[in-house]
């Protein structure tokens, strides 16, 4: 049991280090895209440690406690996530629905803390974040339920092993429409540019983060890195066949995150109502079509 | 001759340990300076080339931020009327410490071309402490970047002490602010 917890904490630490490095590399890539030199690859680490070294103000104990609760919830979620099909901290507890439930702890902690600051921009940001969540969850869950129906298990390791067995394709090939929906929903989860409505620095002054500075903002950055890792890893495991060893995982992870980031950097920002109508129009239609084709007709490549 | 193996480790005093931690913090602080741009005057036009591919301030770890709480540098670009000065003081007091102020152009130094206006203050450092001035009307983008590098050097050599000066001379700054503004509180003109 203690070994399992230690492995879990190791996975959470791995998640933080990996995603922070990948995010730094992506800032460099985006810099090159815009004909700039770009920052050093470890710039994100410097940013986080700088924030932790600053003095910060408090807006009451809800504000402080919410950040710690969110960070704890996200670290707890990351502990359950398998890295590859054989590196997993808690065997048989890597069910997809565990992540759906535990991710909400982090989100709610952050919403509570942001509302505790009393800033109206923070309330608007939280409201937009929850609305965006409501928009992308419906098509995403339809696709994931199709995957669970086809593979006969909702365990993340089980879904990976199902895709890795001979005769089965990765789900992004087996369910092409579903794969596209999954990627669009991933962009929504990550808050990448067409769906960046709840951060929107120029519009609502970075939304939920508006009153954070110093140590609390540093903790929010760590939280953000780990939650991005969880979401991208979910996509890798569900659609790209997971990974048999750690190098395969690193390559797939880097490819998915970089692609999302590149798409984000050539797009503008939707308004919040456009996000909702977008997700409820095309991705939902594609997800339902894919579910009908795959489950009712049984046409799976 | 004493064996190094059994030499007792020299005990560092609390002040020395604090100083060491502060130096480590200074490394992170000077390599990740986030700006809050208070673009009141024409010098603000020098910032887009400093941010984009011409001079690329992100390679120094700098970048724009949305709110005063998140920012390290308060960048005052240009003249300050009495009305904007009040907001500037509010913004400065909201920033989390350590915080630095960079003033662009000749207007915050001596009033610049608005030195005889009744609505504009002439010397910014009478009201809030300024760490780096970039002189010129308007300063070249090289000069702006040079000002940021100067600030990094100051942080390295522990001379960027504006925020400590504001604490030490708080009464003096407040009195100057009151003398110019009457009262420092910001009133919400739209909802009162």
Q: What is the pLDDT of residue A253?
A: 92
Query: Quick check: ipTM above 0.85?
Result: no
- Give the whole-angstrom CA distance, residue B165 versus residue A129: 41
pLDDT over 70 at B187, yes or no: no
- Within its chain, how far is the Cα of A263 from the centroid? 16
CA–CA distance from A184 to each of A100, A178, A191, A265 (Å)? 18, 10, 11, 15
| Cβ atoms of residues A253 and A22 within 8 Å | yes
- Chain A: closest CA distance from residue B117 (Å): 32
Residues facing B74 on adjacent strands = B36, B101
The DSSP code sequence of B100-115 is EEEEESSHHHH-GGGT
Q: Indicate yes or no: CB of A47 within 8 angstroms of CB of B32.
A: yes
Give the other-Cβ count within 10 Å of B174's Cβ: 14
Strand order in the sheet with B34-39: B63-64, B34-39, B73-77, B100-104, B132-134
Q: What is the pLDDT of residue A261?
A: 92
Q: What is the pLDDT of residue B149?
A: 92
- Which residue range(s) make up the domain with A137? 2-297
B123 Cβ under 8 Å from any chain A Cβ: no
pLDDT tier, B79 (very low <50, low <70, confident <90, very high otherwise): confident
Structure-token match 């060491």, residue found:
B20
Return the C-alpha torsion angle B49, B50, B52, B53, nearest 10.
90
Q: Which CATH architecture has domain B29-181?
A: 3-Layer(aba) Sandwich (3.40)
Tokens for A149?
Answer: 């129906």
Chain B residues with beta carbon closer than 8 angstroms to that of A49:
28
Which of A268, A123, A99 minimizes the C-alpha distance to A189?
A99
pLDDT tier, B4 (very low <50, low <70, confident <90, very high otherwise): low
For helices A246-265 and A176-190, the axis angle rounded to 10 degrees is 70
How many domains in chain A?
Answer: 1
Picking from A36, A43, A217, the nearest residue to B61 by CB comes out as A43
Which of A135, A96, A104 minimizes the C-alpha distance to A287?
A135
| Cβ atoms of residues A35 and B53 within 8 Å | yes
B117 Cβ under 8 Å from any chain A Cβ: no
Residue B75 three-state SS: strand
Cis peptide, bond prior to residue B98, ω within 30 of zero: yes
- Give the whole-angstrom CA distance, residue A94 versus residue B44: 52
- Which sign does the torsion angle of CA A39, A43, A48, A54 carry? negative
Q: What is the mean pLDDT of each run of 10 residues along chain A (301 residues)?
A: 86 91 92 89 91 86 89 90 82 85 85 84 88 90 90 87 82 87 91 85 82 88 92 90 87 92 90 90 91 82 71
End-to-end alpha-carbon separation of chain A, Å?
A: 41
Q: Indicate yes or no: CB of A40 within 8 angstroms of CB of B28.
A: no
Give the angle A161-A163-A165 at the CA atoms, nearest 5°: 70
Q: What is the pLDDT of residue A22?
A: 93
Tokens for A162?
Answer: 């199902």
Chain A residues with beta carbon closer than 8 angstroms to that of B97:
54-55
The percent of chain B in helix, strand and coil, each rounded to the nearest 5, is 50, 10, 40
Residues in chain B: 192
End-to-end alpha-carbon separation of chain B, Å?
A: 81
Chain B residues with beta carbon closer than 8 angstroms to that of A211:
67, 69
Tell me the domain boundaries of chain B: 29-181
Chain A residues with beta carbon closer than 8 angstroms to that of B31:
43, 46, 50
| CA closest to A38 among chain B residues | B59
Structure-token match 């390599």, residue found:
B31
Q: What is the pLDDT of residue B8?
A: 66
> DSSP letter at A297?
I
| Cβ atoms of residues A230 and A103 within 8 Å | yes
pLDDT over 60 at B191, yes or no: no
pTM listed for this prediction? 0.89
């Amino acid at each position: 049991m203690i070994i399992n917890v230690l492995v879990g904490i190791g996975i959470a630490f791995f998640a933080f280090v990996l995603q922070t490095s990948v995010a730094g590399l992506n800032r460099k890539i985006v810099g090159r895209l815009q004909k700039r030199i770009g920052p050093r690859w470890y710039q994100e680490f410097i940013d986080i440690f700088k924030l932790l070294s600053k003095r910060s103000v408090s807006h009451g104990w809800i504000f402080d406690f919410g950040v710690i609760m969110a960070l704890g919830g996200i670290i707890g979620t990351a502990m359950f996530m398998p890295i590859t099909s054989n590196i997993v901290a808690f065997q048989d507890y890597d069910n997809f629905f565990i992540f759906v439930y535990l991710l909400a702890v982090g989100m709610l902690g952050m919403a509570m803390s942001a509302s505790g600051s009393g800033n109206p921009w923070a309330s608007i940001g939280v409201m937009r974040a929850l609305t965006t969540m409501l928009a992308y969850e419906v098509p995403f869950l339809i696709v994931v339920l199709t995957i669970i129906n086809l593979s006969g298990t909702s365990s993340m390791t089980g879904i990976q092993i199902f895709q890795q067995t001979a005769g089965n394709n990765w789900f992004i090939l087996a369910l092409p429409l579903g794969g596209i929906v999954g990627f669009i929903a991933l962009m929504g989860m990550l808050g990448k540019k067409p769906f960046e409505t709840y951060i929107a620095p120029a519009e609502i002054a970075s939304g939920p983060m508006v009153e954070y500075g110093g140590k609390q903002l540093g903790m929010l950055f760590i939280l953000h890195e780990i939650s991005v890792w969880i979401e991208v890893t979910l996509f890798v495991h569900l659609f790209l066949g997971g990974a048999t060893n750690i190098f395969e995982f690193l390559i797939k992870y880097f490819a998915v995150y970089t692609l999302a980031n590149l798409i984000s950097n050539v797009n503008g920002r939707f308004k919040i109502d456009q996000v909702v109508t977008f997700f409820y129009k095309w991705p939902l239609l594609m997800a339902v079509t894919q579910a009908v084709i795959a489950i009712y007709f049984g046409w799976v490549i | 001759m004493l064996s190094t193996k059994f030499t007792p480790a020299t005990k560092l005093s609390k002040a020395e340990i604090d100083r060491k931690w502060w130096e480590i913090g200074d490394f992170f602080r000077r390599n990740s300076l986030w700006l809050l741009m208070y673009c009141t005057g024409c010098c603000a036009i020098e910032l887009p080339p400093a941010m984009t591919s011409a001079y690329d301030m992100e390679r120094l770890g700098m970048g724009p931020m949305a709110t005063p709480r998140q920012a390290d540098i308060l960048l005052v670009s240009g003249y300050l009327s009495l009305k904007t000065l009040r907001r500037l003081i509010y913004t400065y007091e909201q920033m989390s410490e350590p915080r630095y102020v960079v003033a662009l152009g000749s207007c915050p130094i001596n009033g610049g071309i608005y030195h005889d206006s009744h609505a504009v203050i002439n010397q910014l450092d009478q009201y809030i402490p300024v760490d780096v001035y970039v002189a010129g009307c308007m300063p070249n983008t090289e000069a702006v970047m040079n000002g940021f590098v100067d600030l990094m050097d100051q942080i390295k050599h522990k001379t960027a002490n504006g925020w400590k000066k504001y604490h030490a001379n708080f009464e003096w700054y407040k009195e100057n602010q009151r003398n110019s503004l009457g009262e420092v509180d910001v009133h919400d003109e739209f909802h009162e």
